[in-house]
Chains A and B, each alone.
Chain A
Amino acid sequence: MAPSSKNSAQTALDLLVLTVLERRGPLHGYGIANAIQELSEEALRVEEGSLYPALHRMEEAGWIAAEWLTTENKRRARMYRLTRNGSQQLLSEHERWKNLTGGVARVLRYA
C-alpha cells in the first residue's frame, strides 16, 4: 500500500501505534489496543479489530517486526516491536501530523 494513498485516519492510527511501540517497547496487539485507549482517554475508541490490518500493513512496510513469543502465564502472543525504518517513519509521520494539525488549528482560529 503506497503511503500517499493513506487517509488521515490511517495516518493517525499509524502514528499512534508507532508512538506506543517507541515509548513502551515490544507489545502484542491487545496491549497496543489497550495502550491507545488508555492514552487517548477512550476518545479514540474504534473497533479493536481494525487495529490488526493496520499492524499487518505496517509490518509489510517494514516499520514494525513481529514474532511469536511466550508471554505471562505461558501464553503465546504475537509481539510487535519498532524497527529502525519504523523509527524514521515515526519522525516523518510526526512532522506531517504537526503540519496537518497546525494548519487545521490555524484555520479554526482565524476562519
Chain B
Amino acid sequence: MSWFSRLLNTIRPERLDDELEAELNDHLARRAEELAAKGLQSEDANYQARLRFGNSTAIRENSRDTRLVSGLETLLQDVRYAFRGMRRSPIFVATALLSLSIAIGANTALYSLIDAAVLRPLPVPHPERLVTLAIPNLEGSGNSLPAGGESQSFSYPFYQTFLKAAGTAAELAVASFPGKSEVRDDSSTARRHRVNHQMLSGNAFQTFGITPAIGRLLSPIDDQHRGAVPFAVLSYDYWQQHYQADPQVIGRTLYFNPEDDSQSQPFEIIGVAQKGFFGTEPGRLVDVWTPVVMYHAKALEQEGWSFFRIVGRLANGVTPQELQQRLQPSFHAFAMATVERNPTMSASVTKQLAAMQIRVHFSPNGSSEFRNQFARPLWIVFGVAAGVLIIACSNIASLLLARSSARSTELAMRVSLGASRRRLLRQVLTENAVLAFLASIGGGMIAYLTTPLLVNALSTNDGPVQFVLGIDMRVLGFCAVITSAATLLFGLLPALQAGRVAPMEVLRKGSGQTAKLRMGRLFVGAQVAFAFSLVVLGAAFLFSLNKLVSVKPGFDAKSVAVLELTNESFSKPQQHALVQQLQARFAQLPGVDAVSAACWSIFGGSFWGEQVFFPEGRKSEREELFYGVTPRYFQTLKTPLIAGRDFSATESSSDTWVSTIVNEAFVKKYFPGENALGKVFDHSSNDKRIHHRIVGISADTHYSDLHTPATPLVYVPFDGDMRFTMYVRSHLSAGSLGRLADTETRELGHGLRVTNIIQLQTLVGESILKEKLLAGVGGVFALLGLGLAAIGLFGLLNYSVTRRTKEIGIRGALGASGGQITLLVLRELVVLLGGGLSAGVVLACFLSILVKPLFFGVAPIDVSVFLTAMGLFFATAIIAASIPAVHAASVDPLIALRQE
C-alpha cells in the first residue's frame, strides 16, 4: 500500500474501519456457515467462530495501525479535539486569538518593513561582494551634517581617480542619488509624469551583474562619450506598468523636463533591466536610468560637486581593507588639493582633511537614505512589538492556567483511565499550536494590511518611500518562527502543569491548585513588568513628541503654502524680473495676505554655508547658514524684525555692498553686546570677496529641524533662479491656490510653472516624522500592553476570588465587612503589582538608556515620565481589580458556605 493511501486512511479513518470490519465479519460468517453445515445450531456456530477467531478488537487495532500513519492520526485527533474545546470557551478563545493575532501581526509587519529596508540583500548575483565608499563628516563646516557620521557623496573627478587606483581589485561604478524627474515620451497621448530617476556610470549594470529583460543596457564604453550617449534604460516594473510590457518600447524617445538636471535633449529607450532590479537604494524604486556622462558638464568636472555614490564589486579574494589601501593615496592627494584651493579654510578643518581616511564598507543591501533615517527607530518599535508579543503570550499562559484548573477534572479522569502523561502533554500542546496557528493567520493578514499603511506614514513630500514588500518566504518564515516561539512561550508551562496532574488529589477536590496560582502570579508579574516598561517608553516618546511640537519655530507655519516653481529663462535679470512680477501679481490676488519668494523652502533639506570674515581679520570657525529671500519674507512668515529694516525691491545680491539681515543668534555670536546694525562682514565666492552690510536683525528661527536650537542665519536678497520657492500666506485651499497660480504663471510666460504645492506646516511636520512614528506606534503598543496586562490581572484576581469563595464566606460569616474583604483582594493586587513593577522599573531604566538618543527634551530616566507611567498603571490596575473586589465583597456567606 502506498504512502498516499496511508495518508488517505489517516485523514478519513472511517473508510478503513469499515473495510476492516467487513473483512473480519466475512471471515466470521464463512466460519460460522461451515460449522453450521457440520450440524451446529446457528447460535453455537457463531459463538464457536468468534472463539476460534480471538480478540477481534485488538486485531482490528493492530491492523489499523499498520495501515495508516499512526502519529499523524493522533495529531488529527488532537486537532479535532482542540477545535471542539475551543468552541466550548469562546470568550477565552476570542481574547487569546485577538491579542495573539495583533501581536504576531505587529511583529510581522515591522519585520517585513525592516527586512525590505535593512536586511534583505539587493536582488543581484553575489551581493556579498558589493561595497560602498564613504568619508567621515567634517566637524564644524556649517553643512549641519552630524559629527561622527559619514557621507557617501563623491564628485565625478573623485570617481575617475578611484577607478584607476582600484585597478583589478574591484569594479567601481558611480550612481546618483535617485531623484524625481518629470518625463514625457514621444507617443501622441503622452503626458508628463513623475518618475524616479537615477544616473549610472556605463559599467554599473555590469558591476551589479544585471542582464537586460529586453534590448540592451548601458555599457562601459558609454562613459567615454561624454554628452553623446542619450540612452535610457527602464526598470522592469515601470515597463510593465507604464508600457504594459510592450516590447515596441525600444527605440521610443523620452523627454526629461528641461530644468531637471539639464537633460533637455531627447533620450532613446534602449532596453529594460531584468525583473526585480530596482537600483541601489531600498526605499526608492528607480523607474528610469540614464548615463551619468549625460549630466551637465560642470557636474562632471567640479571636484566640489559631490553628487554621486561610488559603489563597487570586490574581485574574488580582495578584502575591503586591501581596496582601501589602494584608494587612500589618491584620496589623500585630493584632500590636500582641496586644502590648497581653499586658503581660507579653518585650521581644524584642514587638520581633519589631512588625516582623513577613505572608508570601504560592505553593502550587500545597498545604501538607503530611508535606512539612515529610520533603521534605528524601526528596530526600537520592533523591540516594542516583541514586548507586546511577550505580554500577549504570558497573558494567554495565565488564561490557560485558569482554564486548565477548570479542566483538571477532565485531565485527571483521563489519566485514571490510562492515558499516558506524554499523550496528555502532547494533546495540550497541540491545542496551543492550533491556537497559535489560527492567530498567525490573523496576524499575517493584519501585517499584510498594515505594512503599506506604515510605509505611507513614513513617506514625505520629497517622494513616497517605496519597497518591494509582498508576502515572501522570508516574511512567512519569520511569522512561523515567532508563532512557534509564542506557542512554546505560552503553552509549555501550562502543558507541563497539565501533564503533572495528580488524579487522586484532583478527584478528591482541592489542593494542587496552589502551584498553579503561583505560576499564574509569575505570568502576571511578567506581564506587569513588560507592560510597565512599554508604558514608560511610550510615555517618553509621547513626551518627546509633545516637547518637539511645542517648540516655537520662530515663524507661523499655519496657512502658509509653499509653491515650488521652475522657469526656462537663462539670464539673471530676467529671472529676477520674473520673481518680482510673480510676487506682485500674487499679492494682488483675493484672499492672499502676504507673499514672498526664496531660493528654496526652509525645512526642505537645502543648505548654503559660507565662512564669514570680519574686518579686523576675525573669521568664523565654522560655515554659517546663508538664505536668499525677497522683501516681505519676514512679514509672510510672521517672523519679527527686531531692529533695522526689510529688504527693498531694488536691492540685489550683486550689489557692491549687499544689504543683509542676520538673526539674533548671529548677533549674539559675533557682535555680543554691540549694536550690529551697520556692521559689515565678507564671504568669499570664487576668489572674490562679497561684502555684506547688516541692515536688519530678525528673531531666531529654526531652519531645518525643531531638534537643534536656532543657529546663526544670514539672509541675503534673492535675485531669482531657474527654480525657486514662493511662500503664500492666504485663506485659499491648495486647490484654488494651484488654479490661480497656474493662470498667473502662464500669463508671465518663460516656461514659468508650478511643480509642487505643499503646506509649510506639512514640511515642518515631516521633520518630526521619526518622533511621530515612535510616539504613534510606541503609544499604541504601550496601550495594547497595558490592556493585556489588565486582562491578565483581572483574570488572576477573579480566579483567586472564585477559589477563595469559601474562605470569604467564612470571613463574612465571622463578621468581616465588605470593605475588609475588598481590602483582601486589593492586598493581593498590591503583591502582584509589587513584584512586577519592581522588575518593570529596572527593565524600563535599561531600555530608556538604550534608546535615549531618540528622546527629545526628556531625560533618559525622567521622573515625570516614570510617575506618569506609574499613575496610568495603577489606575488601570485598580479598574482591573475592581470587578473581582466588588464580586468578593458581595459574596453571601450563606450561599458560599452551602456550596458542595
Contact = CB atoms under 8 A, between A and B. Distances in A.
Interface string B548-588: 00000000000000000000000000000000000000000
A48 interface: yes
B31 A30 contact: yes
Contacts of A28: 26-27
A49 B56 contact: yes
Interface residues of A, number: 20
B687 interface: no
A53 B23 CA distance: 12
A109 to B, nearest CB: 36
A32 B832 CA distance: 72
Interface string A33-49: 10000000000000111
Interface stretch (B62-70, B215-223, B373-381): B62-70
Interface stretch (B47-55, B296-304, B693-701, B706-714): B47-55
Interface string B36-59: 000000000000000011111001
B63 A52 contact: yes
Given A29-B27, A53-B59, A48 B52 contact: yes
Nearest to B63: A56
Binding site secondary structure of chain A: helix
A49 B50 CA distance: 9
B252 interface: no
A47 B66 contact: no
A60 B67 CA distance: 7
B59 A49 contact: yes
A86 B647 CA distance: 106
Residue in B1, B19, B27, B59 with the greatest tally of chain A CB atoms within 10 Å? B27
B52 A78 contact: no
A47 B53 contact: yes
Contacts of B1: 59-60, 62
B669 interface: no
A51 to B, nearest CB: 9
Given A47-B54, A48-B31, A78 B66 contact: no
B83 to A, nearest CB: 31
A1 interface: yes
A22 to B, nearest CB: 21
Residue in A1, A49, A52, A78 with the greatest tally of chain B CB atoms within 10 Å? A49
A59 B66 CA distance: 9
Contacts of A77: 23, 26
B24 A52 contact: yes
A49 B66 contact: no
Contacts of A60: 1, 66-67
Interface in A67-91: 75-78
B827 interface: no
A96 interface: no
A24 interface: no
Contact of A52 (B22, B30, B52, B59): B59
A49 B63 CA distance: 11
The size class of the interface chain B forms with chain A is 10 to 19
Contact of A48 (B53, B62, B63): B53
A48 B66 contact: no
Contacts of B53: 47-49
A73 to B, nearest CB: 10
Given A48-B54, A60-B1, A53 B63 contact: yes
Contact of B24 (A49, A59, A62, A76): A49
A50 interface: yes
Nearest to A28: B26
Contacts of A52: 23-24, 27, 59, 63
B27 A57 contact: no
Interface string B54-92: 111001001100110000000000000000000000000
Interface string B245-258: 00000000000000
Contacts of B59: 49-50, 52-53
A48 B59 CA distance: 10
Interface string B16-36: 000100111011001100000
A48 to B, nearest CB: 5
A29 B23 CA distance: 8
A56 B67 CA distance: 7
A38 B403 CA distance: 61
Contacts of B23: 29, 52, 77-78
A30 B63 contact: no
Residue in B22, B24, B66 with the greatest tally of chain A CB atoms within 10 Å? B66
A38 to B, nearest CB: 13
Nearest to B62: A53
Contacts of A78: 19, 22-23, 26
Contacts of B52: 47-48
Interface string B671-707: 0000000000000000000000000000000000000
Contacts of A76: 22, 26
Interface string B612-650: 000000000000000000000000000000000000000
Contacts of B30: 30
A30 B26 CA distance: 8
A33 B27 CA distance: 9
Contact of A53 (B19, B22, B26, B66): B66
A78 B16 CA distance: 13
Interface in B782-799: none
Contacts of A53: 59, 62-63, 66
Given A30-B26, A48-B54, A53-B66, 6 more contacts: A28-B26, A48-B31, A49-B24, A52-B27, A57-B66, A59-B1
**Which are the 10 A-B pairs with shortest beta-carbon distances?**
A47-B54, A49-B54, A53-B62, A49-B59, A49-B53, A56-B63, A30-B30, A30-B27, A78-B23, A53-B63
Interface of B: 1, 19, 22-24, 26-27, 30-31, 52-56, 59, 62-63, 66-67
8 contacts: A28-B27, A29-B26, A47-B54, A48-B53, A49-B54, A53-B63, A60-B66, A75-B26
